[in-house]
Amino acid sequence: MAERNKRGRSGGGREARQAARSEPVTQGVPYITRKVPVYEVLDEEGLALIENNAETILQEIGVEFRGDVEALQIWKTAGADINSERVRIPRGLCKNLIQDNAPAEFTQHARNPERNVRIGGKNTVLVPAYGSPFVRDLEKGRRYATLEDFQNFVKLAYSTPYLHHSGGTICEPVDLPVNKRHFDMVYTHMRYSDKPFMGSVTAPERAQDTVDMAKVLFGKEFVKKNTVIVSLINANSPLVWDSTMLGALKVYARNNQACVVSPFCIAGAMSPVTVAATAAQLYAEALSGMAFAQLVRPGAPVIFGTFSSSMSMQSGAPTFGTPEPQLVLYIVAALARRLGVPFRSGGGLNSGKIADAQAAYEAANTLQHAMLAGVNFMLHTAGWLEGGLSMGYEKFIMDIDQAGMMHEFMKGVDLSENGLALDAIREVGPGQHYLGCDHTRTNFETAFFRSSVADNNSFEQWEVDGSLDTAQRANKIWHKMLDDYEMPAMDPAVDEALLAFIQQRKESFPDANY
Amino acid sequence: MSEEQDLIEEDEELDLSTLPDDELVLQMHDDLYDGLKEEIEEGTNILLSRGWSPDKVLSEALVEGMRIVGIDFRDGILFVPEVLLSANSMKGGMGILRPLLAETGAPPLGKAVIGTVKGDIHDIGKNLVGMMWEGAGFEVVDIGINNPVENYLEAIEEHKPDILGMSALLTTTMPYMKVVIDELGNQGIRDDLIVLVGGAPLNEEFGLAIGADAYCRDAAVAVETASSMITQRRESTPAIPQAAA
Ligand code: B1M
């Protein structure tokens, strides 16, 4: 920060103002707490109908728990009907298991306690996108992601006040061996950020490594008693849980760590083409997964995670930001509230290949609906392109700009004396303007959200500034953010212990690419 | 209402066996387009009973019909569920023709084994490719998802395909395609097969780097590539009597 001028007036003149106005906002709220009501699209009767159909699906058709003998045994003991790998679950059993055991809200701890997030209830935690094999930026175009890209995105997510979480597989560092890259990914979250993060799920032993690294970072006792990892466990719709995901779920649940139990489906291929049927199937799948987590360890935190997309019936490609999945989102969010568990969905989903208009409006469609629906854990908030195949640097910046706007919107309407500002209306009176009145002078700086990406200047000014489009402006921003990035401090002993753990584990088995 | 009834009656009245050859073939193109399996089987049998060679039925009635389906799928006129029905109808016709073609010694259109690799359960794209291959008249053996190399070897041993298709959607599983290809090499059977790979996180460069014959970006390309590569191979290798196969 620039030094105050020495002449001593409180305003501080140009120097002070310049310093204050150019200071990047890095420290925001740890998460959003909504003051705006949720929006719903079905009434009691409609929701009850879907719940009833979900119970029918569980009881009559059942769900397959594939390749996991232990899971079948657990279900059998719980009273389900097992036929080969098919598990038929009596009506109400899943719901009871979840309502009797799973927390309605929980805290995920970060290594910096100021960044702890409260997941559930009226809270929303915004999380970067997940899972892309490719990255894209204006300079280098589309390419396979590397560890450097992964680190960059962790730095960017750390640097913005509008994301509360460091995410998980932000992009896949394909330059590292498949069976060891999780060490570097988890370490990057731990070291380059101090926000909470997600764990590895691609094999049970990788999940265990994540838990063991968390024990080094937070201490064994702390991890036993607190949730420090959230992980993404996908169903394989329709109505299947596979052994990889079940394996990871069991590791996390047993360690009291949270799982986002997510049936993600492309309606048309993985669920029927209609909204109500998709909602019922997703709900049944989520019930079976979350109840299973409670059987593995009663009280294990779970997030009811789902998002649906529609399918291009002309090619089979998933489509995003379309209207039907938004209806599903509203219904499933309401079901999660009725059940009493936190809900994950949404994100800046789109099928755009570059950070263009399609990418932006499809993303905006999903982000806004997800916020209104009452999502608690919003994975994929920033960076998503190409249906999740590519992580965009410029798109990341555009999305966090939207995330910033959502922060403001969720504050709702200020009905205080200052908010109502009758005095200002009295002071100014008819026919004058508000630009210089007391009320404006006290409030102008924070009154309106200021986008860092949008250009609101005149055409001529915009032209003088280089006629930059949105992506070009966003490009400058992420470069500056990376240049300005400062690594959060970490106790050197902890860092050494983490690195030693990683080294010892990496040396204990050969590299493999599967 | 009455118009609709008229249409239905017209449909019921259409007796394929009364059509002259040229009209029957055109009708079969329409029936393939509309995904009418029984009608395709019936038409196939009628043409055979009129003395058409299986080869001629195949190319003029079926393959030509599916070519039209392929064009309209590409152009977004036909939708996936419709193409699935067309492919099924094609499969019906092929079920009748295949044994007859084998008897005449005509080379079959092609046989493919396809599966998603170990550790990966993504199969929507793979299923589409299998469907389109069937539509093109290939015999397709789908070995499902999560396949270790042994499954591929067994299927190759049992079915002796022209083509091995592999699908992977995860960057953590796509390197496994190389494991399979390398093992084909070790077993000395790599050159007996055309290896095609696909899946959204792959690209051309990756396909070549792991030693596949081609990367296919979508199902339509998978059909074109498979057809042209089989033709190429047959032209470049002298016909050996395939008694054992
Ligand atoms: C000759 O042989 C050939 C030729 C051509 C071939 C071919 C073979 N195979 C395909 N083709 C080509 O032709 C087809 C038709 O035109 C095309 O096939 P595609 O498959 O590309 O296209 C289909 C028609 C439609 N596309 C798809 O079906 C894939 C869509 C996306 C969104 C996707 C889906 C649907 C799913 N997923 Co997954 N999934 C994603 C995908 C992102 C994306 N946009 O691609 C991706 C691939 N998944 C990912 C992830 C992370 C995961 N998924 C998982 C699970 C799932 C679902 C089960 C939910 C579901 C699959 C359902 C199913 N039955 O297949 C998990 C892994 C499970 C496992 N063990 O495999 C999990 C690990 C998530 C988790 N944490 O639980 C990401 C990849 C990460 C990485 N490291 O590479 C991902 C990019 C999405 C993301 N951003 O997270 C061509 O590629």
- DSSP per residue, A14-54: HHHHHHHHHSPP----SSEE--S----SS-HHHHHHHHHHH
Both tokens of A215, joined, read 């024990």
| B151 domain residue, yes or no | yes
Q: Is residue A319 left, alpha or beta, with left meaning phi > 0 and alpha meaning psi from -120 to 50?
A: beta
- Say yes or no: B205 contacts chain A, CB-CB below 8 A: no
Both B123 and B165 in one domain: the answer is: yes
- Say yes or no: A147 contacts chain B, CB-CB below 8 A: no
- Show pLDDT as tens, one digit a residue, over chain A (514 residues): 444 455 667 777 888 888 777 765 556 899 999 999 999 999 999 999 999 999 999 999 999 999 999 999 999 999 999 999 999 999 999 999 999 999 999 999 999 999 999 999 999 999 999 999 999 999 999 999 999 999 999 999 999 999 999 999 999 999 999 999 999 999 999 999 999 999 999 899 999 999 999 999 999 999 999 999 999 999 999 999 999 999 999 999 999 999 999 999 999 999 999 999 999 999 999 999 999 999 999 999 999 999 889 999 999 999 999 999 999 999 999 999 999 999 999 999 999 999 999 999 999 999 999 999 999 999 999 999 999 999 999 999 999 999 999 999 999 999 999 999 999 999 999 999 999 999 999 999 989 999 999 999 999 999 999 999 999 999 999 999 999 999 999 999 999 999 999 999 999 999 998 7
Both B128 and B115 in one domain: the answer is: yes
| B55 domain residue, yes or no | yes
Tell whether ligand 1 has an atom less than 6 A from the beta carbon of residue B187.
no
| Nearest chain A Cα distance for residue B121, angstroms | 8
Give the closest residue to A178 by CA, choosing from B95, B178, B70, B183.
B178
Domain ranges of chain A: 28-412+449-514
Both tokens of B71, joined, read 């064009």
Report the length, in residues, of chain A. Answer: 514
pLDDT of residue A26: 53
The one-letter code for the residue type at A281 is Q
**Structural contact between residues A341 and A121, judged by C-beta atoms closer than 8 angstroms:** no
Supply the range of the domain harboring residue B44.
13-106
Both B210 and B162 in one domain: the answer is: yes
**Structural contact between residues A165 and A123, judged by C-beta atoms closer than 8 angstroms:** no
Terminal C-alpha separation, chain B: 55
pLDDT of residue B244: 38
Three-state SS annotation for A389-435: CEEEHHHHHHHHHHHHHHHHHHCCCCCCHHHHCHHHHHHHCCCCCCC
Both B231 and B118 in one domain: the answer is: yes
Q: Which residues contact A362 (CB under 8 A, 6 or more apart)?
A: A320, A321, A322, A349, A350, A351, A352
Report the length, in residues, of chain B. Answer: 245
| Nearest chain A Cα distance for residue B222, angstroms | 14
pLDDT of residue A24: 54
- pLDDT band for position B239 (50/70/90)? low
Which residue's alpha carbon is nearest to atom 72 within ligand 1?
A234
pLDDT of residue A514: 74
Q: What is the spatial distance between Cα A210 and Cα B167, in angstroms, rounded to a whole number? A: 29
- Say yes or no: B208 contacts chain A, CB-CB below 8 A: no
pLDDT of residue B245: 37
Tally the C-alpha atoms within 13 A of residue A437's C-alpha that lie toward its C-beta: 14
Q: What is the spatial distance between Cα B239 and Cα A36, in angstroms, rounded to a whole number? A: 74
Both tokens of A163, joined, read 């994301």
- Say yes or no: B176 contacts chain A, CB-CB below 8 A: yes
pLDDT of residue A16: 82
Separation of CA B223 and ligand 1 centre (Å)? 20
Both B113 and B217 in one domain: the answer is: yes
Q: What is the spatial distance between Cα A242 and Cα A289, in angstroms, rounded to a whole number? A: 11
Atom of ligand 1 nearest to the CA of B125: 18
Separation of CA B118 and ligand 1 centre (Å)? 14
| B5 domain residue, yes or no | no
Q: What is the spatial distance between Cα B173 and Cα B156, in angstroms, rounded to a whole number? A: 21
- pLDDT band for position B105 (50/70/90)? confident
R_g (Cα) of chain A, nearest Å: 24
Q: What is the spatial distance between Cα A497 and Cα A80, in angstroms, rounded to a whole number? A: 45
Both B56 and B139 in one domain: the answer is: no
Q: What is the spatial distance between Cα A203 and Cα A183, in angstroms, rounded to a whole number? A: 13
pLDDT of residue B242: 46
Least CB-CB distance to B179: which of A202, A244, A514?
A: A514
| B244 domain residue, yes or no | no
Tell whether ligand 1 has an atom less than 6 A from the beta carbon of residue B161.
no
Both B137 and B188 in one domain: the answer is: yes
| B77 domain residue, yes or no | yes
Please report, for the domain that includes residue B165, its CATH number: 3.40.50.280
Q: Pairing mode, if any, of strands A197-198 and A81-83?
A: unpaired
- pLDDT band for position B213 (50/70/90)? very high
Both B175 and B215 in one domain: the answer is: yes
Number of domains into which chain B is organized: 2
Please report, for the domain that includes residue B100, its CATH number: 1.10.1240.10
pLDDT of residue A6: 57
Last residue of a domain, one of B38, B72, B106: B106
Q: Please, what is the average pLDDT of chain B?
A: 91
CB atoms within 10 A of CB A415: 8
pLDDT of residue B219: 93
Last residue of a domain, one of B83, B106, B129: B106
Separation of CA A231 and ligand 1 centre (Å)? 18
| B161 domain residue, yes or no | yes
pLDDT of residue A2: 42
Phi and psi at residue A82, to the nearest 5°: -110, 130
Least CB-CB distance to B79: which of A270, A313, A389?
A: A313
pTM score:
0.93
Last residue of a domain, one of B106, B130, B146: B106
- pLDDT band for position B238 (50/70/90)? low
Angle value at C-alpha B82, between B77 and B84, nearest 5 degrees: 130
Tell whether ligand 1 has an atom less than 6 A from the beta carbon of residue A389.
yes
Least CB-CB distance to B171: which of A172, A266, A311?
A: A172
pLDDT of residue A23: 61
| B3 domain residue, yes or no | no
Tally the C-alpha atoms within 13 A of residue A367's C-alpha that lie toward its C-beta: 30
pLDDT of residue B104: 86
Both B73 and B121 in one domain: the answer is: no
Stretch 75-104 of chain B: residues touching chain A, C-beta under 8 Å:
76, 78-81
- Say yes or no: A443 contacts chain B, CB-CB below 8 A: no
> Which homologous superfamily is A28-412+449-514 in?
Trimethylamine methyltransferase-like (3.20.20.480)
Both B142 and B184 in one domain: the answer is: yes
Both B231 and B127 in one domain: the answer is: yes
Separation of CA A219 and ligand 1 centre (Å)? 36
| Nearest chain A Cα distance for residue B25, angstroms | 27
Which residue's alpha carbon is nearest to atom 19 within ligand 1?
B125
Tell whether ligand 1 has an atom less than 6 A from the beta carbon of residue B127.
no
- The answer to whether the Cα torsion of A388, A389, A392, A395 is positive or negative is negative
Tell whether ligand 1 has an atom less than 6 A from the beta carbon of residue B200.
yes
Separation of CA A132 and ligand 1 centre (Å)? 11
Q: Pairing mode, if any, of strands B163-167 and B111-116?
A: parallel
Both B99 and B190 in one domain: the answer is: no
